[in-house]
Amino acid sequence: MTKTVVHQISKIISDFRERIERKIPSWELVRGSKAFREMEVEISVLTRMLADRISEKILRAIVLNGSFQQQTVEALRKTGRYRNGGMRITKVTLLGGQTVSLKTLYLRPDLRGRRGRNRGIGKRGKAGAGCYPVLASLGIDFGVTAAAVSEICRQVADSDSVRSGREALSRRGLDLGHKQTLRIVNHASQRAVEQRKQLLDGALQNAPVRGMLRNKRVLVAIDGGRIRERVVKQGRRRKKTGHFGYETPWREPKLFIIYIIDDDGRPDPLYLPICDGTMGDCDAVMRMLLGYLKLLGAHEAKELVIAADGAKWIWERTSELVQQLGISRKRVTEVIDWFHAVEVVHEIASVKKWSTKQGETWLNRVIRLLKKGDIDRLLGEIDQLTVGRRAREIGKHRDYFARNKERMRYSDFKSARIPRGSGAIESAIRRVVNMRMKGCGTFWLAQNAEGMLMLRSYLKAGRLDDLMDWSVSQAAKWWPQNNDAIPIKNAA
């Protein structure tokens, strides 16, 4: 079999060489910029076709390997009852965009002996769909190879819309149409979301493990953004469009970022950050964060820094987070973002109606106190303004400093080389949420938003390939070669 494949690939390469040789005389006559660009594109298309033809021959050889087929069937049947569905022809799209037809064994769920009516045509039922064991073991799902699925998800998540993502994909010969592209992205992302839930639920139920955060200085930052959700109304369809009406309430996706800092308080370049988020409520994101920290061994961290703005929902839950993580409170430092604190000072100054010089003098004095971490004297300065009809409004800002006094020891933080800002999560909110999911006329179904949030978070953290490899391995974890435990690699 190997000699046959080698011979077939050699023939493909020989044909490719002959085709290139016929093209070279015309390419050598290129003189203009446009003609040279067209030549480069043509060469790129030819090499992409070559890559797909080689991949096709190797894939066919794997599928026709009887021993491998038998091994995959036996491994799959250990997970449940399956019946032989016979040899079926199915189409698979490769990374270069070419589609090939393969004839391979299909297994379907064995429903014999189960109570209830038989499954009807087009109705999968609770037993689920069947499986092509050979293709599944190779990560081929949705009729597309794992590499192609990863590339589709990357381009659609990185672009500002599905249309823009398709334009980028079409330049690589991988345009499958709007509906199929969207279906692949939604199915792949929602599958990863469900797998993540199972992973984190298991981590929360088990004791923390030794991980990449052991003996490291770790910073965790949390924040929320804003997007529009699409909530379909109940009732009749509209006569003009045939669609149901919908509402577009604001929702707050919540993100967190985990990264390792060096002795100077800067991000360690040897480790990529870990970023993720959810459309769930405050408890959901803190539960998710706790699961990640337990998976990564944060309970053995040398130091854990939690940074955020002054949102009450965050700081009301950090004590429980630390307690459930099992890390000593002495190794935990909570920090209010410096720039948010300064912003609140400016808001106080804007309430008081005074001249520009008076305002600047007061601001400079108070910011110096804030920089020193002298919150008691800062509160005294604010108390002098809480008189008259503006006292109530200023009092709300005063409470911000009073309840976060221990989180504003900025002079101590500077001496200890502890970051005083949460710029990483502010940047993540902008890059993950605002630049893709928030925009005029952009409304999200909740499940699609959750999936895109996960894809964007991993993409911007430089870990999307890790996520996609892990998700594919979890989809067919019955196969021994698919053993990725978590979607995070240690080193950058």
393 falls in which pLDDT band (50, 70, 90)? Answer: confident
Average pLDDT, the chain: 90
pLDDT of residue 115: 58
| Edge-to-edge strand ranges of the sheet holding 274-278 | 274-278, 254-261, 217-224, 303-308, 332-336
* Furthest CA-CA distance within the chain: 92
* Span of 19-33, 235-249, 326-340 with lowest mean pLDDT: 235-249
Q: Taking residues 65-85, report their average pLDDT.
A: 90
pLDDT of residue 221: 96
What is the per-residue pLDDT across 237-247, written as a single tens digit (0 to 9) for each?
777 777 778 88
Q: Taking residues 201-229, report their average pLDDT.
A: 93
Distance in angstroms (rounded) separating the CA atoms of residues 217 and 305: 8
Distance in angstroms (rounded) separating the CA atoms of residues 196 and 179: 25
Q: Taking residues 54-68, report their average pLDDT.
A: 94
pLDDT of residue 96: 93
pLDDT of residue 244: 78
pLDDT of residue 389: 76
Q: Taking residues 160-175, report their average pLDDT.
A: 92
pLDDT of residue 161: 92
Distance in angstroms (rounded) separating the CA atoms of residues 146 and 451: 17
Class of residue 291 by CB neighbours under 10 A (exposed 0-12, middle 13-18, buried 19+):
buried
CB atoms < 10 A from the CB of 434, how many? 13
461 falls in which pLDDT band (50, 70, 90)? Answer: very high
Q: Of 137, 57, 36, nearest to 100 (Cα)?
A: 57
Element (H, E) at 102: strand 99-109
355: tokens are 């001249």
pLDDT of residue 81: 81
Q: Taking residues 353-362, report their average pLDDT.
A: 81
What is the per-residue pLDDT across 115-164, written as a single tens digit (0 to 9) for each?
555 555 544 444 457 889 999 999 998 899 999 999 999 999 999 999 99
Q: Taking residues 355-365, report their average pLDDT.
A: 85
Q: Of 282, 468, 285, 76, nearest to 293 (Cα)?
A: 285
Regarding beta strands 227-228 and 82-93, do their DSSP bridges make them parallel or antiparallel, or are they unpaired? Answer: unpaired
- Amino acid type, 74: E
pLDDT of residue 125: 47
* Span of 94-103, 173-182, 184-193, 378-387 with lowest mean pLDDT: 378-387
**Is 121 or 180 the better-scoring residue by pLDDT?**
180
Share of the chain above pLDDT 90, in %: 74
- pLDDT score of 321 more than 90: yes
pLDDT of residue 207: 86
What is the per-residue pLDDT across 425-442, written as a single tens digit (0 to 9) for each?
999 999 999 999 998 889
356 falls in which pLDDT band (50, 70, 90)? Answer: confident
* Span of 140-149, 165-174, 211-220, 353-362 with lowest mean pLDDT: 353-362
Distance in angstroms (rounded) separating the CA atoms of residues 374 and 411: 9
* Span of 107-116, 195-204, 285-294 with lowest mean pLDDT: 107-116
- Amino acid type, 115: R
- pLDDT score of 477 more than 60: yes
The set of long-range contacts for 156-161, using a CB threshold of 8 Å and a minimum separation of 24, is 156/181, 156/182, 156/185, 157/185, 157/436, 157/452, 157/455, 157/456, 157/459, 157/464, 158/459, 159/436, 160/435, 160/436, 160/439
Give bridge partners of residue 144 from the DSSP assignment: 93, 141
Q: Of 112, 94, 103, 98, nearest to 132 (Cα)?
A: 103
